[in-house]
Each structure stands twice: as structure tokens, then as C-alpha cells.
Amino acid sequence: MRRPGRQQLEYCALLAAAFAIATVTSWTSFATQIDNDAYDFWFRLYKPVVKPTEAILLAVDEESYREAGGLRGLRRALAEGLDRVAKASPRAVVVDLILAEDSDPESDERLEAAFRSIPGLVLASDIAGAQPLWEEPIPRFAKWARAVGHVHADPDPLDAVSREILLAKVAGRQRYWALALEAFRVSRGADILESPENLRVGEVVIPASHRNNRSLLIRYLPPDRDIPEITLRQLRADESLAAEFSGKTVFAGITAQTAARDRLMTPYSYGVPMSGLEIHAHAFETIAQQNFFTVAPAWSVLAVSLALVLASGAIFAWGSGWRSNAMAVCLLAVAHAGPYFAFTQGIVFPFAPALASVWTAVVLAAAYQHFVVRLRLEDSESERQRYRHAMHFVTHEMRTPLTAIQGSSELMGRYALPEEKRKQIADLIHSESKRLGKMIEVFLSVERLSAGGLELKKEQFAAPELIRTCVERVLPVAGRKQIGIHTETLPLSLLSGDRELMEYAVYNLLTNAVKYSPPKTTVTVSAAHRGEHLHLCIEDQGMGMDQKEVSRIFQRFYRTRKAEESGEAGTGIGLSIVEQIVSQHAGRIDVFSRPGEGSRFTLILPAQLSAAAAEHN
Ligand code: ADP
């Protein structure tokens, strides 16, 4: 099996990071707000098929409230209305008023009488007080109720929109089911059976798990197919309207803006809150029509996010160009539309995690493939090119001494040559094979140095002597171009390490200075002992280089364009060896260069002052 390369590992790490970023992001309240907004938006976008409703409102609207004489006359007016409702034989009647206190005896009497005639009465209670306790209907009312339900429609703490209700609520030692659930139970004449995962009323299974606090997402009906409503005023004015309540579950309560305390925003309300009475009726319809939302479990959200990250990764790992961009656009579209599609199927899948995963993964994967992989490909391509050039040059260079050796040895073997001629040819063979040997050695040193396989000799030697040897060796080459080599006074420093390699380094810098300078210029060699270091400078008045070129000259086989065009032979490996040698000696090289003005190479090497110099100081 192939081991994964560095690039693959980097890419996998990047995708893992994308997944982590997306997961963490989707836990923030910002992401929750996005989820909420998307949920509300889907509500408005989706046009469900609406069945006929079972709930109907007996609403105390603004006018009914005024006509009843406000809160004081409300119980009496409501009693009148309820009498009429009762005659129509509704399935259940929910009275969404907190009747925890006595009012005037006459009105209470009247209301109690009305309650007496309603067989499926459901009354309301809520939690109040500093030490939260239930405000329950007073006994004279409670005794006629088949059930009491809580009226809390807790809005989302983040944006105060009512999206769900808790089907059970506890305060003190008392638990109440939600008003809507009690209404449903009474309307079906069944009991509520509990299991950890759901609640069952007759045939209907409500997916409200104990783990989730028995929360139920309300499937609000669209405003144009709202729950029918008859106001108390209308009913009192026209008795025939009571027929509308026949066989229905009636929600009676206040909708008047001035009187209803519990008005909340819903996904459908554009800034206009809905009364608690209507919210309970919508919750009732959700149960009655079994129009439940299922919330996608956390593991499935994580799995989808992971799949999206992997898909984004795959698209950019195996594709390229417009094809992978087009596929990424498709993936983005799927991630955006998928949660809405799930919504239409009754599954609430949070929007933010899918969005965060797909965007982070696509952006990171695309950036990585575009910038890193492509640049690396370009780099390795140009390196291969340089390597080919170098190999071409080397084989060419090596062929010259080899041809000379071959030709000469053939001459010697074939002809009886005079002794003097033989010696001449033997000398030629010797010098050519030495040249060849040197060439091979240089190549091998690069390989061994970079692999760390070259043993450094440890000897001490005088810097001035080394420098002078190198200068002397380079003089004939410089002479051919009429380049003067000016050596300034050299300090008596002692270097330690491998003299031969160090000589190679200095000689290489000197030959470069000569090679890349025009005729009749000067190369200056100077040195200074500073602290524990020798600073050796080789400065020329040659072609120079720009900053970008300087940053690359220590790469193997790199040559500047000007150097290539100059016609000077070279392989582009000399400086890479110099750098290796210097760093093996715990030193470094500084380069200062300007195009057309010349270059200055400074070797900075650990050195000691010789005893004589130290004494002199
Ligand atoms: P080579 O001289 O064989 O090409 P080097 O590794 O010694 O290889 O140098 C690499 C490149 O650095 C050269 O090809 C040249 O472009 C540039 N260079 C080195 N020294 C100088 C210098 N003194 N002035 C200008 N360019 C230089």
C-alpha cells in the first residue's frame, strides 16, 4: 500500500480543520439565529395543503371587550356566549382565561352556570409569583372542568418568536399538560399515555420526547388559511352563528390587543404579534392534523456536515478547473436547498451547520488546490527543467575529457611513439582524468552533503593563507577577462573545520565574481575579524541580481536569466554546495546585490584570532 504523501496529509488536515471550524461555528448563537431565520423563511415559502380545521376561536376582540365593559363585565359576557356555544354541542371548549380569583358573585355565578352546561370544558392555569407556583382556577370553576392545561407558549429566548410549546410544565410539585394537548385529549375522550420518546392520545402518537422537555414545534397554518374566528360580540348579536361551533373544539379567550397579555411573534407574523389564544389553537391543530415536525438528531447533522466536507474535498482533490468549480456550485446549491426540502417533508434540519461546513470546506479546499498544489507543481516542473539543463551540461562537459582520454590511449596503443610523445600523451591523460575525477567529486559532494553523509574533517587553518591560495588559483581565469583582483589586508584569523571544503567555497565565490563580471572590472577581497567571527567579503562590479533572484540562487540548478545569457558555463549547483559547506561550519552567507551594479557575498564564519594576532592586540 502506498503511504500517504505530505500533500495528502496536509489536505486531510485542512478538511478536518474545516469540519471543526464549521461544527464550532454552528454552536454559536449567531448560527442559531441563522437557523431560526431560515426556519421562519421556509414557513413563508412553503405552501402546504391545509386540511379543514377542527379548532375555532370565540374571540374577545377589541370591540367585544369594550362592549362587555372591560375586565369587570367579561365573565358575564363570556357566560352568555358560552351558553350559545354549548347548545351547538362542540367537542370541547377551552377557556383561555386565568380564573384564579373571585370576581363579583353575580358574574361568577353566571359563568359557573355556563360551565355546568359544557361537557368538554378545559380551563387554564399559569405559573406566577416570585416563588413560581400555579395560578389555578378557583374550585367553583375547576369542578366543572374536565381538564386544566397550562398556557405558556415560551418564545425563543434569542429572538422572542414562538416556535414551540412545552407539552408539559412543572412548578412546585404540580405538572400541567399544555392547554392544546388537554383540549385534544378531551375532544377525543382519551387519556394521555407517556413514554420517554413520545406521548400517545388515542391513536395519535405525538413525537415529544422527555429528553427534549416534551417540546412540540407548532405547525402554524398559513395566514390565508387561518383558524376560523367568531367574535363574542358577533355571537351575542346573532345566535345563529353558534351553529359554526358544532362538533368543533372551541378556543375562547381574549385577542384584543389592549387586553391580551400574551401576544407573541410567530414565524408567519411580519412584526404583528399573535395572541396566546390563537397560538394554542395552532398547537391544537398541529396535534389534531398530526402534522408534526421531526427535528433531525444531532448525529445526523454531524454526519451530513462531514459528508459535505468530504464531498468538497473530493471535488477539488480529483477535479480541476471549471469542472470542479461547477461541481462545487452544485454542492453549494444542495447544501442550501437540502434543509428546505427536508422542511417540506416535515423534518427540521438546521441550516447553519450545512452552510458552515460546505462554505468553509469549499473555500479552504479550493484555495489549497489553487495556491499550494498548483504552485508546488510549477516549482517542481521548473526544478525538473533545471535538472535537465544541468544534466545536459554535465554530460557534455564530461564527454570532453573522456574523448581526450579515449583518443590519447588509442594513439598510445596503436602506434609505437617516441618516448617524449608518449610522456606528453600520458600527462594529458593524467590531467584530463583528474579533471573528470574532480567533476564527479563535486557532484557526489552535493549529494552527500545534502544527505548529511559527508564527514567533515576537523583541522585548524589560517584564514589569510586559505584566501590567498584561492585568489592565486583564480588569477589566470581573471586574467583572461582582464579583471583585477584586489586583496585588502587580511586579519590573522584561525578557522577550524575542513580546509578542502572551505577552499572550494571561497574559490567558488571568487570564480562566480569573475564569471559574472564584465572585462576590465575589479573584484575586491576583504576580511575583518569581529568578535568570534570572520567576515569575508568578495565584491564584484558585475551584472548583479534583483532581490527575487538573490532569494533563489542557493537552490540547486538555479541560474539567473542574465547568467544563462552571458554565455558563461555553469550548472547552478556551486552556490548550493557553498551554502551547505558554510552551514556545516556553523556559519552563514549574506548576499547584497543590485542589478547592473555588482554583488557582495559575505561569508560569516566562527573564527579565533591566532596567538600572534591576539598578542599584538
Ligand atoms: P553557476 O555559477 O554554475 O551557474 P552557482 O550556484 O555558483 O552556479 O550560482 C548560481 C547562480 O547565481 C548563477 O548562475 C548566477 O546566476 C548567480 N550568481 C552567483 N554569483 C553571482 C555573482 N557574483 N554575480 C551575479 N550573479 C551571480
Q: Give residue-wise pLDDT tens across range 557-595.
A: 788 999 988 888 777 878 988 998 898 899 999 999 999
Split at pLDDT 50, 70, 90, the class of 253 is very high
User: Ligand 1, atom 20: nearest CA belongs to which residue?
Assistant: 512
Atom of ligand 1 nearest to the CA of 572: 8
Split at pLDDT 50, 70, 90, the class of 448 is low
* pLDDT of res. 222: 87
Atom of ligand 1 nearest to the CA of 517: 24
Expressed in angstroms and rounded, the spacing between residue 600 Cα and the centre of ligand 1 is 12
Most informative mutation of 443, 446, 512 for ligand 1 (most atoms within 8 A of CB) = 512
Atom of ligand 1 nearest to the CA of 576: 6
- CB neighbours of residue 412 within 10 Å: 15
**Cell numbers given for 550:** 538573490
User: Ligand 1, atom 12: nearest CA belongs to which residue?
Assistant: 553
Split at pLDDT 50, 70, 90, the class of 96 is very high
Expressed in angstroms and rounded, the spacing between residue 458 Cα and the centre of ligand 1 is 29
**Cell numbers given for 285:** 391543530
User: Ligand 1, atom 3: nearest CA belongs to which residue?
Assistant: 570
Residues above pLDDT 70, as percent of the chain:
93
Expressed in angstroms and rounded, the spacing between residue 542 Cα and the centre of ligand 1 is 11
**Contact of 243 with 249, CB cutoff 8 Å:** no
Most informative mutation of 443, 553, 557, 562 for ligand 1 (most atoms within 8 A of CB) = 553
User: Ligand 1, atom 11: nearest CA belongs to which residue?
Assistant: 559
Give the rounded distance of the alpha carbon of 106 from its chain centre.
Answer: 69
Q: What is the pLDDT of residues 185-209, one digit of tens each?
A: 999 999 999 999 999 999 999 999 9
* pLDDT of res. 501: 85
**Contact of 98 with 152, CB cutoff 8 Å:** no
Expressed in angstroms and rounded, the spacing between residue 549 Cα and the centre of ligand 1 is 10
Split at pLDDT 50, 70, 90, the class of 147 is very high
Expressed in angstroms and rounded, the spacing between residue 390 Cα and the centre of ligand 1 is 14
* pLDDT of res. 4: 54
Average pLDDT over residues 352-372: 88
User: Ligand 1, atom 19: nearest CA belongs to which residue?
Assistant: 512
* pLDDT of res. 226: 85
User: Ligand 1, atom 23: nearest CA belongs to which residue?
Assistant: 513
Atom of ligand 1 nearest to the CA of 559: 14
Split at pLDDT 50, 70, 90, the class of 27 is confident
Q: What is the pLDDT of residues 408-445, one digit of tens each?
A: 888 888 888 888 888 888 888 887 887 777 667 666 66
Task: Name residue 231's beta-bridge partners.
Answer: 59
Split at pLDDT 50, 70, 90, the class of 121 is very high
* pLDDT of res. 390: 61
Atom of ligand 1 nearest to the CA of 571: 3
Atom of ligand 1 nearest to the CA of 573: 6
**Contact of 36 with 217, CB cutoff 8 Å:** no
Expressed in angstroms and rounded, the spacing between residue 492 Cα and the centre of ligand 1 is 29
Atom of ligand 1 nearest to the CA of 577: 6
Cβ burial, residue 29 (10 Å; 0-12/13-18/19+): exposed
Expressed in angstroms and rounded, the spacing between residue 546 Cα and the centre of ligand 1 is 12
Most informative mutation of 559, 566, 590, 602 for ligand 1 (most atoms within 8 A of CB) = 559
Atom of ligand 1 nearest to the CA of 538: 23
Expressed in angstroms and rounded, the spacing between residue 562 Cα and the centre of ligand 1 is 10
Atom of ligand 1 nearest to the CA of 554: 6
Atom of ligand 1 nearest to the CA of 556: 6
- Cα torsion 466, 472, 478, 483: sign: positive
* pLDDT of res. 184: 97
Most informative mutation of 524, 575, 580 for ligand 1 (most atoms within 8 A of CB) = 575
* pLDDT of res. 293: 92
Expressed in angstroms and rounded, the spacing between residue 491 Cα and the centre of ligand 1 is 27
Coil vs helix vs strand at 161: strand
Alpha helices in 345-452 (DSSP H): 351-367, 374-414, 419-451
Average pLDDT over residues 314-339: 88
Phi and psi at 196, nearest 5°, equal -55, -35
Coil vs helix vs strand at 402: helix
Expressed in angstroms and rounded, the spacing between residue 559 Cα and the centre of ligand 1 is 6
Q: d(Cα 311, Cα 315) in Å, to the nearest integer?
A: 6
Q: d(Cα 139, Cα 100) in Å, to the nearest integer?
A: 9
Expressed in angstroms and rounded, the spacing between residue 571 Cα and the centre of ligand 1 is 9
User: Ligand 1, atom 21: nearest CA belongs to which residue?
Assistant: 512
- CB neighbours of residue 384 within 10 Å: 11
User: Pick the residue with more confidence: 42 or 48?
Assistant: 42
Q: How many Å is the Cα radius of gyration of the chain?
A: 46
Q: d(Cα 280, Cα 267) in Å, to the nearest integer?
A: 15
pLDDT at 2 over 50: no
Split at pLDDT 50, 70, 90, the class of 10 is confident
User: Pick the residue with more confidence: 341 or 568?
Assistant: 341
Question: Measuring CA to CA, which residue among 118, 107, 114 is closest to residue 79?
Answer: 114
Question: Measuring CA to CA, which residue among 416, 523, 534, 408 is closest to residue 466?
Answer: 534
Q: d(Cα 330, Cα 334) in Å, to the nearest integer?
A: 6
Atom of ligand 1 nearest to the CA of 540: 23
Atom of ligand 1 nearest to the CA of 601: 23
**Contact of 303 with 293, CB cutoff 8 Å:** no
* pLDDT of res. 132: 84
> How much is the mean pLDDT over the chain?
88
Expressed in angstroms and rounded, the spacing between residue 545 Cα and the centre of ligand 1 is 9
Coil vs helix vs strand at 538: strand
For ligand 1, which residues put their CB under 6 angstroms from it?
508, 512-513, 516, 540, 542-545, 553, 559-560, 563, 570-576, 599
User: Pick the residue with more confidence: 391 or 500?
Assistant: 500
Expressed in angstroms and rounded, the spacing between residue 512 Cα and the centre of ligand 1 is 6
User: Pick the residue with more confidence: 371 or 135?
Assistant: 135
**Cell numbers given for 97:** 382565561
- CB neighbours of residue 305 within 10 Å: 25
Atom of ligand 1 nearest to the CA of 570: 3
Question: Measuring CA to CA, which residue among 247, 279, 248 is closest to residue 263?
Answer: 279
* pLDDT of res. 3: 47
Long-range contacts of range 321-329, CB-CB < 8 Å, 24 or more positions apart?
324/366, 324/369, 325/366, 328/362, 328/366
Split at pLDDT 50, 70, 90, the class of 1 is very low
User: Ligand 1, atom 13: nearest CA belongs to which residue?
Assistant: 559
Strand ranges (E), 215-316 = 215-217, 229-231, 249-254, 263-264, 274-275, 294-295
